[in-house]
Structure 1
């Protein structure tokens, strides 16, 4: 894993922690849908939940409301985001600074592993999904949302119109995610589109800065001002608004077939 890039991502989101909520419309909607899907999957019988990439706590608060009796472990790459989610007494749980792609846990510990809009920052999505699925107890589920290939399509198109390539990371298509999840016995994926009304190019840039999504693809550098002005002009000629394509995925482990459910164990100390 690229430790330098992960640190840049952590720093960028940490810098945005104080004003993230003011810019995070699609993020709120995606978190609510992940929570709804998880509740349909496991409405009860949930002993322990792991959240990956809590941000300021949109999904965390949904989890607490739906499974108030469960033991909750909340993690984020950014200590500042983690602290933001933990403030105010809105949720109770264990809060750990952790790279969700390299969890500190081993073995079958969790009934639910939930994440909303964090997996797009992983270096290797396929390996990360397999690693997290390995932490599920029998009949446990991993449910997540992540950015899809169609996100910021108009901003990308504006770059192409200017003869340039956007620094926004390359997100997977729905077909690619389904291919990754097909390696698991019980899995599915679907997508949703969320409008991003930003008015003009400055509005889009303000949105990206506001949520901390400012670390470009590996090896990419910021555009020179002249090129950026060309892209902004092309974007505004195309309407000035954009869209999120958000992919949702679920992986469920097979239940115990005989001998009953194994006892709940205590995870190793962090």
Structure 2
């Protein structure tokens, strides 16, 4: 059972599943980065993989191609996304509706746990990372991408200029993510910046709606029409360009002697 906000997140992404990939340029790049790190980290010896937040299957299909013999469990909080991911028939795996913060597994199960742009929706990111890292077999790795503090800085600035608070959630900085990983056995984090292709407030809002990222941060409300028009005008006047700051992290459990 998921709480009210997570149910809204599930519903929003489920509603966007059919057209998600049309709008998902940064998401496609983030998934490729996660897969590239994973295949360099563990090119073979992979028997079981868990994917957290599979969406429509951008990363899922890459996993299937790179480790065709592995058992794959692909999960998402939105059943609509799982249906879309499974519909193409290009992935031989098990699809499971799951809150990534509450995986129904115990003990060392997986050689790889992969996730791309799902962790930013978690309520308690440090606890979730610790919980997932605890599911790794010796030598296994958790590899993920998530949103960083620098994402949508222009949109946030336009809100501030109008005396409004943005609904964009409070993403961690790279330093904050590194601090979360500091106590892990073998971990690192780095960042990549991806510019959004569109220009202007309408393009930004169309992108966010297209991927289903429309649920505001905890305790925040969507703007009314008049306030939204003011913010859109301020954003466009400032250049109307924005970026994704992608944070990528890896945690590897020590191999047994």
Which bin holds the TM-score, normalised by the shorter protein?
Answer: over 0.9
Q: Provide the C-alpha distance between the structure 1 equivalents of 2:94 and 2:39, rounded to a whole number of angstroms.
A: 21
Gaps of 5+ in 1: 258-270
Distance 1:171 1:2 in 2: 21
Match of 2:56 in 1: 56
Quick check: 1:141 aligned with 2:141?
yes
Q: TM-score, normalised by structure 1?
A: 0.94
Task: Please give the residue correspondences for 1:68-87 in structure 2 after superposition, counting only pairs within 5 Å.
Answer: 68-87=68-87
2:240 matched to which residue of 1?
240
Taking the aligned partners of 1:197 and 1:237, their CA distance within structure 2 comes to 18
Conserved 8 A contact 2:2-2:99 = no
Aligned to 1:46: 46
Q: 2:249 — aligned with what? A: 249
Shift of the alpha carbon at 1:235?
Answer: 0.3
**Offset of 1:24 from its aligned partner?**
0.3
Q: 1:223 to 1:203 in 2, by over 3 A?
A: same
Q: Distance in 2 between matches of 1:92 and 1:168?
A: 35
Report 1:118-129 matches (<5 A).
Answer: 118-129=118-129
Instruction: State the partner residue of 2:172.
Output: 172
1:208 Cα offset (Å):
0.5
Q: Counterparts of 1:26-41 in structure 2 under 5 Å?
A: 26-41=26-41
Residue in 1 that maps onto 2:116? 116
Q: What is the match of residue 22 of structure 2?
A: 22
Whole-angstrom distance in 1 between the partners of 2:161 and 2:198: 20
Deviates more, 1:184-193 or 1:216-225: 216-225
State the alpha-carbon separation in 2 of the partners of residues 89 and 14 from structure 1: 19
- The alpha carbon displacement at 1:220 in A equals 1.2
Shift of 1:179: 0.1
